[in-house]
Structure formats: structure tokens, C-alpha cells
């Protein structure tokens, strides 16, 4: 039997980082991010400080390659809070005919400008450490193929015939097979407690993913043409919008908010600020972090990626349990619009929050009941409240460390809203 030798001691947990010394100390915590020290601790918290010192970026971002029906390929990076669909997007099977997606990484990106001014990204990891609940052949067939063998599962349920189980797996059990929960107790569908922990995980080598990009291990990295921010927002935030410019994009990243996830150890439903999806992972002063992003945009000769924000999680006000957007493979429709914008297509219209697709520019064919106006409404009262809450957040959490350029962008948003 497997013997757990990790020093779990919840009453005496100590997790400390000394970025200036590139040092990590972790004792007592069995949480993945605090025990796999090469992951969040080094590759984000320590590395983000190294990146600031050395002029590059270490980010909580997936990396994917998007190929159009004509064979043109563009690479994109995307920052989402944990359990907001990073792995599903990185391993997407597009529902849009002719489009293909290849995965470079699903969680962490290290990015640096090359001699020609292109921002290039590598995935510093060798595998995937994904959230199990909700992963199924329907939501992420490539993830299911990846974890079909040679995989470690933590805090999932298990079956009496030697298999694993979690909520949303969508696999019927053979007759006579019983379930045991992650707590080691007999479990049946309908029981009040979940079979698997909400933050249970799978851990598998990246090369087992059937759509890994041919360049995923290229030490030169892949050229990033678009950076996408996003989170869970049930109302008010459009399906996709593009920042007006790099400085506005840094503001958009700093203003990210999302419903809490199990990975963040908060109860679901609460809307949390999560700048750049890095709130748990900043390795130094967050105001300096924003200033570093602004400075990257001022580099001589830089060929800057375009910056976007997406929200797959809009809910129907008349039926709050229903999403307005089908998500998963249909998110390729949004990637296709972003691809077009990178290629120079004139397919957007200005709103106070950014550029949104013109009506008809986003391919909605084959999606009955999905209406453009529901996906891209920008309500004045919602965004005025958003701006007030963001101003309070900046004052409380950044204070004098907030770059003046970011505050200027907030003031510009407030001015555009007044004109609505």
C-alpha cells in the first residue's frame, strides 16, 4: 500500500517564501500548491520576482496554438483563476468546423521578448495538475485521453473495481460496482456530501495529451499574438471584449474579478478581485507588478500582443441556473474572432469597456437561442457600480503603490460611462 510520508500537520502549517533569496519553506500543508514546490511556489511566486528583476514575465496562464481553416496559426496565452476553465480551453476540441487547437501548457507561462520584439512563451512544467470534478468525455475529451493511464489522482472517489470517480464524470457504473468517497466512506449518488473533494486533482505527464503542440518543448518558446484575461462573472461582463491598447489591457487585467473557486479555498458564489489571476501568487508588491507590465509595453521595438477579456459564465436572468453561452468547444468561436482581430480584421465596435464583436462578426450559426445582444450588453448602472467597487479595491489594496497610469484608465472608464 502507498504510505504517505509528507509531513501533514494542519495545526502547525508554515508556508513561507523569501523571493530575494529564491527560497521556499513549506511544512505541514498537504495542499498541492504548497507541496509541489516547483509549481506555484517557484514557477509563479519566486519566478515572478525573478522576472521583474530580469525583464520578463512569469504568469498564471495557459498557452495554446490556434490554427484557422486556411492553415494560419497563432499562439495565445490566457489568465483565468483556478477552476475557471484553463485546462478545458488549453485542451479544447473546437466545435467550429475547420479550426484546430494545440496545447502548449494549461497553467503557467514564462514569457520574454526575443531579438525581433516578439513576446515568446514557454511552459515550464512537464505535466498537468488539473481539477478532476467536471472533467468528462463531454467537457474535455482530450483530458480524459491524457489521464487514461500513468496518472496520479488525489482526493477523488474510487470504485470497487479499481477505478476513480468524481462529480461530473458522466460515466455509468457497471452492475454491482460500488463507490467509496474521498473520505473513505461508502457513497451513493444523491448523498448530501460529494464523492470527490471539489478540488480533487489528476496529475499526468504532458506528452500523454493527444493534442500537445509540436513546439511545446521548444526552448525558444512560441510567439504570443494575444493575451486573454477572464473569470466567472454571472452578469454584466460581455462574452468577449478587446482592450483599446496595452495600457488599457493592463488595467483590464488588474480589474479581473471572479466567483470564488474551491482552489481558492473560499465558498463558491462570492465575487473576488483577482488581478491577472495572480492574487494568490504575487511574489512581490502588486503595485510594482502592474508597473512591470506597463514597462513591458514601453520596450523599444516591442511587437505587443493584443489584450482581451472573456467571460464564458453569463447566466440567463430569467433562468439563473442556465448559462447564456454553451462554452467548452464552442469557445472556439470566440477564439476565431480574436484570431481575426490579430489578423487585422475590422470586426469590432467600441463600447465604454472595450471593443466587442460587431453583430454578425461572431459566428453563432447552429446555436439556437443564443442572441448577440444578450452576450454583449454593456449596462451603465452595472459598470458604474463596478468602477466604484474597483476604485475602493485599489485604495484599500494598492494605495500609493497603484501606478498612476492604472488610475488614469479607471478615470477614463468613468468618463466614458458618464457619456452613455
Q: pLDDT tens digits for 215-225?
A: 999 999 999 99
Is residue 229's pLDDT more than 60?
Answer: yes
Flag whether pLDDT at 206 surpasses 80: yes
From CA 145, how far away is CA 132, in angstroms rounded?
13
Cβ contacts of 97 within 8 Å, gap of 6 or more: 69
The answer to whether 157 and 173 are in contact (CB under 8 A) is no
Q: Give per-residue pLDDT as tens, 231-253.
A: 999 999 999 999 999 999 999 99
What pLDDT is attached to residue 267?
54
Nearest to 78 by CA among 240, 217, 198: 240
- Assigned C-alpha cell, 69: 481553416
- For residue 2, the model assigns a pLDDT of 58
- For 271-318, what is each residue's pLDDT tens digit? 999 999 999 999 999 999 999 999 999 999 999 999 999 999 999 999
Instruction: Please identify which residue in the block is written with the cell numbers 457497471.
Output: 174
Mean pLDDT of 4-15: 81
- Residues 227, 232, 233, 239, CA torsion sign: positive
Q: Are 229 and 277 in contact (CB under 8 A)?
A: yes
What is the pTM assigned to this prediction? 0.94
Average pLDDT, the chain: 94
Residue 84's pLDDT band, with cuts at 50, 70 and 90, is confident
pLDDT at 96 over 70: yes
Q: How far apart are CA 276 and CA 96, in angstroms?
A: 28
> Can you point out the beta strands (E) in 291-414?
306-310, 315-316, 319-323, 348-351, 354-357
pLDDT of residue 262 exceeding 60, the answer is no
At 268 the pLDDT is 55
Reply yes or no on whether the pLDDT at 265 is more than 90.
Answer: no
Amino acid at each position: 500500500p502507498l504510505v504517505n510520508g509528507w509531513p501533514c500537520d494542519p495545526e502547525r502549517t508554515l508556508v513561507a517564501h523569501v523571493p530575494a533569496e529564491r527560497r521556499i519553506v513549506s511544512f505541514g500543508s498537504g495542499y498541492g500548491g504548497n507541496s509541489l514546490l516547483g509549481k506555484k511556489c517557484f514557477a509563479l511566486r519566486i519566478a515572478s520576482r525573478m522576472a521583474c528583476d530580469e525583464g520578463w514575465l512569469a504568469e498564471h496562464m495557459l498557452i495554446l496554438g490556434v490554427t484557422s481553416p486556411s492553415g494560419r496559426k497563432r499562439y495565445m496565452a490566457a489568465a483565468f483563476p483556478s477552476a475557471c476553465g484553463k485546462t478545458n480551453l488549453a485542451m479544447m476540441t473546437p466545435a467550429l468546423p475547420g479550426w484546430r487547437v494545440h496545447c502548449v501548457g494549461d497553467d503557467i507561462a514564462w514569457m520574454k521578448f526575443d531579438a525581433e520584439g516578439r513576446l515568446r512563451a514557454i511552459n515550464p512544467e512537464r505535466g498537468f495538475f488539473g481539477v478532476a470534478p467536471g472533467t468528462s468525455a463531454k467537457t474535455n475529451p482530450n483530458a480524459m485521453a491524457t489521464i487514461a493511464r500513468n496518472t496520479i489522482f488525489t482526493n477523488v472517489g474510487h470504485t470497487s473495481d479499481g477505478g476513480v470517480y468524481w462529480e461530473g464524470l458522466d460515466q455509468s457504473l457497471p452492475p454491482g460496482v460500488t463507490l467509496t468517497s474521498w473520505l473513505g466512506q461508502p457513497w451513493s449518488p444523491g448523498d448530501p456530501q460529494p464523492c470527490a473533494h471539489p478540488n480533487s486533482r489528476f496529475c499526468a505527464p504532458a506528452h500523454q495529451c493527444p493534442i500537445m503542440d509540436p513546439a511545446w518543448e521548444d526552448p525558444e518558446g512560441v510567439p504570443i499574438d494575444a493575451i486573454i484575461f477572464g473569470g466567472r462573472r454571472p452578469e454584466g461582463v460581455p462574452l468577449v471584449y478587446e482592450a483599446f491598447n496595452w495600457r488599457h489591457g493592463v488595467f483590464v487585467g488588474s480589474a479581473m474579478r471572479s466567483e470564488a473557486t474551491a482552489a481558492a479555498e473560499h465558498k463558491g458564489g462570492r465575487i473576488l478581485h483577482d488581478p491577472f489571476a495572480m492574487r494568490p501568487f504575487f511574489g512581490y508588491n502588486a503595485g510594482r507588478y502592474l508597473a512591470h507590465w506597463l514597462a513591458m509595453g514601453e520596450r523599444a521595438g516591442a511587437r505587443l500582443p493584443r489584450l482581451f477579456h472573456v467571460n464564458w459564465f453569463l447566466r440567463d436572468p430569467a433562468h439563473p441556473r442556465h448559462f447564456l453561452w454553451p462554452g467548452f468547444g464552442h469557445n472556439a468561436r470566440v477564439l476565431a474572432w480574436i484570431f481575426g482581430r490579430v489578423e487585422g480584421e475590422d470586426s469590432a465596435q467600441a463600447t465604454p469597456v472595450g471593443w466587442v464583436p460587431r453583430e454578425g462578426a461572431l459566428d453563432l450559426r447552429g446555436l439556437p437561442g443564443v442572441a448577440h445582444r444578450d452576450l454583449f450588453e454593456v449596462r451603465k448602472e452595472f459598470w458604474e457600480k463596478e468602477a466604484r467597487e474597483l476604485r475602493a479595491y485599489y485604495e484599500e489594496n494598492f494605495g500609493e503603490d497603484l501606478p498612476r497610469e492604472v488610475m488614469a484608465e479607471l478615470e477614463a472608464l468613468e468618463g466614458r460611462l458618464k457619456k452613455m
